[in-house]
Structure 1
Amino acid sequence: MSDKLTLSKLAFPLLLIASLIAGVASYLFWQQQAEPKQALVYPQARNLVEFTLIDQHGNTVGREDLYQQWTLAFVGYTYCPDICPLTLAKLAGAQEELAAMVQEPLKIWFISVDPQRDTPTQINDYVNYFQQPAILGVTAGHDQLFPFVRQLGLMYAMSSNAEGNYLVDHSASVVLINPQGQLVAMFKPEMVVGQPPVINTEQLLADFPLVLARLR
């Protein structure tokens, strides 16, 4: 009889411990599932220092133009053979769905790092091809471009004797800037052997709300 009482007394705390372990395991599993797969969310929003760019219409663009909107930005150039047109097409196609997830407007900045060839007129023609009013093309001299691109956590490299038909090495990631003009996240490209690194549209749409949840 005493053995039965002892077992009965032990059963409840054992069940309680088992429930706690199951609860912790479920919580950790949920957290793992809720992690963005192709996005990096910065622990703290990063303030951007003032910058001066020129947009596709010839207007001056600065940090205040990032306020009161969400901005997806990436670097490239209009003569890019693969990454840039593919990335712009994907962002243009996903813009409406992404914009529905936020209260403020959602814009897309195409930052040309090839000012030698990419005049505002050239950028304007290029951007308009994608038929997405939310896209803004910007550029500047390298004295403005390089520090701006670097503070976005992106990069580009020109040929030392860049003349005529040349390629520009640049990042394929897309960064997210919040309505306070702060850098908050980076969406990484999908790496597939034999294909250019570009973002995956379905993954971007899946990761975006998870990123927003972590920013609240």
Structure 2
Amino acid sequence: MTRMQKTLVVLIALVGLIGGLAVNRILNGNSEFNPAELADAGIILLPQSRAVPGLRMTNQDGQPVALDQLQGKWSLLFFGYTYCPDICPTTLAQLRQIKSQLPEATLQRLQVVLVSVDPERDTTQQLKQYLGYFDKNFIGLRGSIADTQTLANALSIPFIPADTSKPGYTVDHSGNLAVIGPDGRQRGFIRAPFSTQKLVARLPQLVKRD
């Protein structure tokens, strides 16, 4: 066998080995983290994580919650309100559908959080009742409008406070989600509109990371 032939045999063997390892990772669910695949699903990661303001709000059970208490799980944080006519019910229904298709291991590491941009009407009782229509495990938070704006601006998901003196007022807000890591820092965004199937496929890839 010539030197050239020996080199080709070695190269073919290496290609086969690499291919086999790649197939093994895929079959065992251990494929490597791929930011491009996440981006295709609308999950945009920040180059560097951001600190979340250390604010205190109240949850739907009337209990005080410090935002750093969101640590330990991945949080999909949505700014909305219970009287929203379109974006909010659509978003929450879609998140419920996504959760219903995720594996249990992913669900254990994931939580959905609605931060009210309408604390004037969104009492704790109203939040609890509203979120119960979608998923009893969804978390609702309310705070002062000033604190809510501080949080929204820090996460780059601003909203426009409403003129609450007008009857039947609405609040202009984004449909995007902020992605908070288990360390309590913002890791990125999920852009609206959402692709249910792509998020079902990619969220497990995201939340298995620390």
Compute the displacement of 1:186 (Å): 0.9
Aligned Cα root-mean-square deviation (Å): 3.3
1:54 lines up with 2:49 in the alignment: no
Match of 2:200 among 199, 205, 211: 205
Compute the displacement of 1:205 (Å): 1.4
Give the partner amino acid of 1:114.
D
Give the partner amino acid of 2:172.
D
Maintained 8 Å contact 2:59/2:140: yes
Going from structure 1 to structure 2, the CA distance change for 1:47 and 1:163 (only over 3 Å counts) comes to same
Aligned equivalents of 1:111 and 1:103: distance in 2?
Answer: 20
Going from structure 1 to structure 2, the CA distance change for 1:139 and 1:103 (only over 3 Å counts) comes to closer
Match of 1:70 among 71, 74, 79: 74
Aligned equivalents of 1:126 and 1:165: distance in 2?
Answer: 18
Maintained 8 Å contact 2:59/2:124: yes
1:106 lines up with 2:101 in the alignment: no
Going from structure 1 to structure 2, the CA distance change for 1:103 and 1:55 (only over 3 Å counts) comes to closer
Compute the displacement of 1:92 (Å): 1.7
| Divergent runs of 4+, >6 A | 30-33
* Aligned counterparts, 1:142-161, within 5 A: 142-160=145-163
SS at 1:72 equivalent: strand
Going from structure 1 to structure 2, the CA distance change for 1:63 and 1:158 (only over 3 Å counts) comes to closer
Going from structure 1 to structure 2, the CA distance change for 1:200 and 1:146 (only over 3 Å counts) comes to same
Aligned equivalents of 1:49 and 1:33: distance in 2?
Answer: 26
Give the partner amino acid of 1:122.
Q
Q: Provide the residue aligned with 2:21 in structure 1.
A: none
Compute the displacement of 1:179 (Å): 1.2
Structure 2 unaligned segments of length 5 or more: list them.
Answer: 8-31
Maintained 8 Å contact 1:75/1:113: yes
Compute the displacement of 1:154 (Å): 0.8
SS at 1:169 equivalent: coil
1:44 lines up with 2:51 in the alignment: no
Give the partner amino acid of 1:204.
L
Counting aligned pairs with the same residue, the percent is 29
Give the partner amino acid of 1:139.
R
1:186 lines up with 2:186 in the alignment: no
Maintained 8 Å contact 2:152/2:158: yes
Aligned equivalents of 2:77 and 2:92: distance in 1?
Answer: 10
Compute the displacement of 1:143 (Å): 1.7
Maintained 8 Å contact 1:185/1:211: no
* Aligned counterparts, 1:22-37, within 5 A: 34-36=36-38, 37=40
Maintained 8 Å contact 1:70/1:176: yes
Give the partner amino acid of 1:138.
L
SS at 2:112 equivalent: strand
1:170 lines up with 2:165 in the alignment: no
Give the partner amino acid of 2:196.
T
Structure 1 unaligned segments of length 5 or more: list them.
Answer: 1-8, 14-29, 191-198
Aligned equivalents of 2:35 and 2:150: distance in 1?
Answer: 36
Going from structure 1 to structure 2, the CA distance change for 1:202 and 1:179 (only over 3 Å counts) comes to same
Aligned equivalents of 1:76 and 1:33: distance in 2?
Answer: 27
**Greater C-alpha Rg:** 1
Summarize deviations over 1:137-180 as a string: whole Å, max 9, x none.
11111121111111222111123464220111101011221111
Give the partner amino acid of 1:48.
V
